[in-house]
Chains A and B, each alone.
Chain A
Amino acid sequence: MLPHGTTVLALRYRDGVVIAGDRMATEGYSVSERRIEKVHNSDKYSAIAIAGAAGPALELTRLFRIELEHYEKLEGAELSLEGKANKLSQMIKGNLPMAMQGLVVIPIFAGYDIRRNVGRIFKYDIAGGQYEEIEYYAIGSGGRDARGTLKKIYSKDADQDGAIRAALEALYDASEADIATGGPDLIRGIFPTVKAISAQGISDISDAEIKQLLQEMIQRQGGG
């Protein structure tokens, strides 16, 4: 049995897009990794969040990142966000034979489109099919639960803080309903990965900030 990554999500807000993921990887009913990183910067203005077989997913992320950097250096210019999304689609399509054997890798790609001045979210299927989401999306075993939460609380006019809160709440709900999704681990100090991408580029939201927001959320909900 192979390690699998679980819930990742992205949502648009006023100034860009927030992308987040829990930290757990599972092998069937066991935890194989408590602090895996499922959200990775692909360049200055985009990030990729992965769900599925951990090994091939991390490999795909690494290669994607190098492909973008390689293009940028050769051409002296960055690819458009659309170009990056299409490149990723081709790479997932290339993984189809592996996917048929069970090594499914499905990412969410999110970034800030500096030509259109807007945050954008792309989702994929195992055949490389690419679809743009204009509000939010979540995948992985807890993806459906996270989408349920986002459906209720999503607001396209939210500011960055509001979007981060919504992401954390969705991940929290997914961890309560889905056994493969890791919740915030206050004992070990493991918190979800959250990144915000805007015209200023990517910013990693610090653990301290996430902890603070989570505590406020848990208090509001009346305990865990």
Chain B
Amino acid sequence: MAMPYYVSPEQVMQDKAEYARKGISRGRSIVAMEYDQGILLVADNPSSLSKISEIYDKIAFAGAGKYSEFENLRKAGIRHADMKGYLYSREDVTAKSLANSYSQSLGTIFSQEMKPLEVEILVVEVGRESAGNEMYRISFDGSIFDEKGFTAIGGKSEALILHLKNQYRRASLKDALQLSVEAIESAYNQTTSPAGLEVATLDRGRPGRMFRRLGAKELTELLQKE
């Protein structure tokens, strides 16, 4: 009878993390940024398969990495939110509880399954005032980061965050969008076009469902430099 090989738990975890990181680094990045009227999400995404989505009235989702995997998480999130809103009330649906439940499932999958998910996700909620905004970044292993001002996920997230660190200040939607696009262009060393971007906002000025996608026409206008 063949003896089973011994592999240390440290080694297993390290290998899984490396595997997941490699998968995520192949995908393109997404920037989330607070602006004066809400939160902006910008993805370098020319395809019609979206990376950014509405979850609930004040909550949006973005996923980087393997599409099929974060798509499943997105759907689970919408189900979680809609169910909670139906059972209790719309105001009881919060990004914090959603982020926690994402963190739980990602953590469980990372430690118990053979293959970890190759995803990094963002859950953001716009507050009644800027101080009430919440942005959670959740990694493939379930670790969760509470971010302020701006954040990025996906392959070039470190380069993006580095770029934004020096430049970020809370500004208008136009300025926030231009800064996000600049960061993406410099991280990928390429120019982008409105058709190659997926952009959405959570705008606190809107009644009810605050998520809104920006179309190519509007993007072209907003990206025009004075």
Contacts and interface: CB of A to CB of B under 8 A. Distances in A.
A73 B61 CA distance: 11
B90 to A, nearest CB: 10
B82 A66 contact: yes
A66 B86 CA distance: 8
Contacts of A74: 75, 78
Contacts of B86: 62-63, 66
Contacts of B97: none
B53 interface: yes
A223 interface: no
A74 B79 CA distance: 9
B50 A70 contact: no
Majority SS at the chain B contact face = helix
B55 A73 contact: yes
Majority SS at the chain A contact face = helix
A157 to B, nearest CB: 33
User: Chain A, interface size: which category?
Assistant: under 10
Contacts of A62: 86
Interface string A50-82: 000000000000110010011001101000000
Of A63, A69, A73, A74, most B-chain CB atoms within 10 Å: A73
Contacts of B209: 69
B146 to A, nearest CB: 25
Contacts of A63: 86
A73 B200 CA distance: 14
A76 B53 CA distance: 8
B54 interface: yes
A76 B71 CA distance: 12
A74 B78 CA distance: 7
Nearest to B77: A73
B85 A73 contact: no
A63 B85 CA distance: 11
10 contacts: A62-B86, A66-B82, A69-B209, A70-B78, A70-B79, A70-B82, A73-B78, A73-B82, A74-B75, A76-B53
Interface of B: 50, 53-55, 75, 78-79, 82, 85-86, 209
Interface of A: 62-63, 66, 69-70, 73-74, 76
